[in-house]
Structure 1
Amino acid sequence: MESPRLSDRQLQAFQQVMDCGTVSGAAQRMLIAQPGVTRLLKQLEHDLGFALFERRRGRLVPTPEARLFHRELVRVWSGLEELRTTARRIREREMGGLRISAMPLLGMTFLPDVLAAFTKQHGEAQAELATFRSEQVLEDVVTQRADLGFAMLGGGDERVESEAFRLESVCLLPADHPLVAQAKVSIKDLHGQPLISYEPRDPTRQALDRLIEAAAVRPQRQLQVSLALQAARLVAQGGGIAIIDPLNARGFEGQNIAIRPFEADLGDTFYLLTPREQPLSSLAKDFIEAFRAQFFAMRV
């Protein structure tokens, strides 16, 4: 037996009669004449193969079959309404998930600030921010465990799309340090100073070491850390001075710390990574634009 061919108009007429209890009331809601509603009901009964209403004492009374059918219709239409709502929210970018993998330089301070402002403008959007070393960030993007990645690696990797961002370095100083009186700090100013260093494999550490060696400068190296945040906290406690990125530095300004531009170019570049073969969602594109805007507006 063939499945009944049901039109939206037939189902609307049935729904309105069930709600109103009369053909006249349904006709008013549907903005059509009463005979039109009656015709739609008869067509629906014919297509379904069973009666929907009985007339008793001048009133329409739904049959048991009609009540069962109406219960299922309400369930289906409720699901369709949820589907329409979901489509609208996707269209208006309120829904969807965003997975971000980032190196600590960005993942600990700057990206949370961007994400906090971003989610306020994107309703119920779900976002996940994970922090890893650059090697893991690159792997996350390649395997599409992350929609976006921020890493010091990946600029020449053919498996991902990349956008380069340049970072100028700054010098963090205890607020009472003599170098605070200078407008800028140079390589030569590091001579004899207690310099907080990063791990030997860190690109910033390696670039700074090359410049220090070329300038024949000898800073005091007593403390070594893994993260810029650790270096900044040590500076705030008078543990030495540190060369760090301006993104992390700005979070410590005023906390017994002074920030001065570092005139040497350490070549600090990080990359925004996206999967090469996977189109970006609207949510991901919007986040990238928000990141760019906040990054380029950042001043130290």
Structure 2
Amino acid sequence: MRLRHIEVFHAVMRAGTVSGAAHLLHISQPAVTKVLQHAEAQLGLLLFERVRGKFYPTPEALRLFTEVDKLHADLVAIRRLAVSLKNGEAQTVKLSVTPALGAAVVPAAMTRWSLAQPDGRCELSTQHTRELVNALLLGEAELGLALHDPKHPGIRAEPLASGRMMVLLPRKPARAGRRAGEAAGLPLAITELPSELIGLAGDDPLGLRLSQECEAQGVQLQFRITVQTYQLARALAEAGLGAAVVDPFTAASADRQRVVVRPLDPEMPVPLYLLTPSAMPLSQGARRLVRFLGEAAEACLAQADTVPA
């Protein structure tokens, strides 16, 4: 039996009449009769006894219907899945991000994605870049956001946005605080970095770039406090424990009442990378989320550059 035979046979069994089957299938009665006759000819057996305009299934048809009904349920499920795939609602999008981006970029993007895709599902996790890459390679994540390109042959890295390294300077009281406020938004030379600087971990990509630039400029950095995450560096700077050099996304969420935010000079670009497995195409729901992530990142960068009055 062909698929069309199965659909018509199932409809006639459910409706009990040709007209009822035609109504279920949204086709004409002659079309139902023609397909049914063709199915019987292909099978070489009678499926229905025609008595005064009504169709009565033969014993063979009743036995056949048991299996056809199962197949019909599967076909309905396939159609529903196809619609869900088209709307991007069937898959669970798995997004893994570094901690700084999870706090700064993801909430705004997820708000828009949830409104645009109310039936969509998303699993979020925060990991450092090395663990994030492993999650993508193992299929535990579909998308990743990181602040550097891991340059792995199994990972595709696509820049979504780009900012620059920023310095968080604790505000001081009274007159000194006003002077710091007046400098907000103006570049701070790397040679002018204060001695009380909160350091980043030795294997951190941005920390390594900062150390290399300082070495090139003849600046000796000494850290009394070293941290693993940019958010902790920001929190310590806000607490007045020292200045911190952080990415622009972390700087965007800094408390401007407690710190002055200034771009580092010379400029050190900080791209935001979308990481995906090289051999895996993105689902429609994931592509929508990528668009919102990119727009949220641009908005975050604009906020980082904004100087409060």
Q: Does 1:32 align with 2:29?
A: yes
Following the alignment from structure 2 to structure 1, what is the Cα–Cα distance between the partners of residues 268 and 79? 53
Give the conservation status (yes or no) of the 8 Å contact 1:191–1:217.
no
Q: Which residue is equivalent to 1:167?
A: 163
Question: Aligned letter for 1:296?
Answer: E
8 A Cα contact 2:97 2:146, kept in partner: yes
Structure 1 residue 227 displacement after superposition: 0.6
Displacement of 1:218 in angstroms is: 7.1
Deviates most, 158-167 or 197-206 = 158-167
Secondary structure at the counterpart of residue 253 of structure 2: helix
Residue by residue over 1:75-123, the C-alpha shift from the partner in whole angstroms, topping out at 9 and shown as x without a partner, is 3222212211211221232223433343333244323442443343234
Q: Which residue of 2 aligns with 1:294?
A: 296
**Equivalent residues of 1:100, 1:146 under 8 A apart:** yes
1:182 aligns with 2:183: yes
Distance, in Å, in 2 between the alignment partners of 1:231 and 1:133 is 16
Q: Quickly say closer, same or farther: Cα 1:136–1:38, change in 2 above 3 A.
A: closer
Instruction: Provide the residue aligned with 2:240 in structure 1.
Output: 238
Report the Cα distance in structure 2 between the residues aligned to 1:128 and 1:163, rounded to whole angstroms.
Answer: 21
Over aligned residues, Cα RMSD in angstroms? 3.8
CA contact (8 A) 1:107 1:131 kept: yes
Between 57-66 and 217-226, the greater mean CA deviation after superposition: 57-66
What is the aligned partner in structure 1 of residue 307 from structure 2?
none
User: How far off is 1:230 after superposition?
Assistant: 0.8
Shift of 1:225: 1.1
Q: Deviations over 1:230-271 (max 9, x none)?
A: 112222323232221121222234564443333333454454
Q: Distance in 1 between matches of 2:254 and 2:93?
A: 29
Shift in alpha-carbon separation, 1:58–1:155, aligned structure 2, 3 A: closer
Contact 2:238–2:255, Cα closer than 8 Å, also in 1: no
Structure 2 CA distance, aligned partners of 1:102 and 1:257?
A: 26
- Residues 95, 123 of structure 1: 8 Å contact kept: no
CA distance in 2, matches of 1:154, 1:7: 49
Kept in 2: contact 1:249–1:259 (CA 8 A): yes
Task: Give the drift of 1:158.
Answer: 4.1
Q: How many corresponding residue pairs?
A: 291
For 1:120-199, list aligned pairs within 5 A: 120-142=115-137, 145-152=140-147, 154=149, 156-164=151-159, 166-176=162-172, 178=177, 179-183=180-184, 184=186, 185-192=188-195, 194-199=196-201
C-alpha distance in 2 between matches for 1:207 and 1:27: 71
5 Å matches for 1:1-300?
Answer: 5-6=1-2, 8=4, 11-12=7-8, 14-23=9-18, 25-26=20-21, 30-32=27-29, 41=36, 44=39, 47=43, 49=45, 51-53=47-49, 55=51, 61-62=56-57, 66-142=61-137, 145-152=140-147, 154=149, 156-164=151-159, 166-176=162-172, 178=177, 179-183=180-184, 184=186, 185-192=188-195, 194-212=196-214, 221-254=223-256, 256-269=258-271, 271-297=273-299, 298-299=301-302, 300=304
1:52–1:65: 8 Å Cα contact kept in structure 2? no
Distance in 1 (alpha carbons) for counterparts of 2:83 and 2:284: 13
The 2-side partners of 1:37 and 1:141 are apart by: 50
Q: Structure 1 length normalisation: TM-score?
A: 0.74
What whole-Å deviation, never above 9, does each CA across 1:180-235 have from its counterpart, x for those lacking one? 2313233344334x322212332333333455566666777432211111112222
Q: What TM-score do you get using the length of structure 2 for normalisation?
A: 0.73
Residues in 2 aligned to 1:207 and 1:26: alpha-carbon distance in whole angstroms = 71
Task: Name the aligned partner's letter for residue 133 of structure 1.
Answer: H
Which amino acid letter does the alignment assign opposite residue 77 of structure 1?
Answer: H
Whole-angstrom CA distance in 2 between matches of 1:209 and 1:23: 81
CA gap 1:42/1:144 in 2 versus in 1, 3 angstroms: closer
Instruction: Quote the Cα distance in structure 2 between the aligned partners of 1:203 and 1:229.
Output: 15
Question: What is the alpha-carbon distance in structure 2 between the residues aligned to residue 152 and residue 70 of structure 1?
Answer: 59
Q: Does the 8 Å CA contact 2:5/2:36 hold for their aligned counterparts? A: no
Residue-by-residue CA offset, 1:140-195 (whole Å, 9 max, x unaligned): 44555543333455454444333345431222234556322313233344334x32
CA, structure 1 residues 262+18, in 2 after alignment: closer, same or farther (shift >3 Å)? same
Structure 2 unaligned segments of length 5 or more: list them.
Answer: 305-309
Structure 1: any 5+ residue segments left out of the alignment? none
Change (3 A) 1:217 1:74: same
* Pair 1:147–1:234, CA change in 2 (3 A): same
In structure 2, give the amino acid aligned to 1:237.
A
Equivalent residues of 1:253, 1:259 under 8 A apart: no
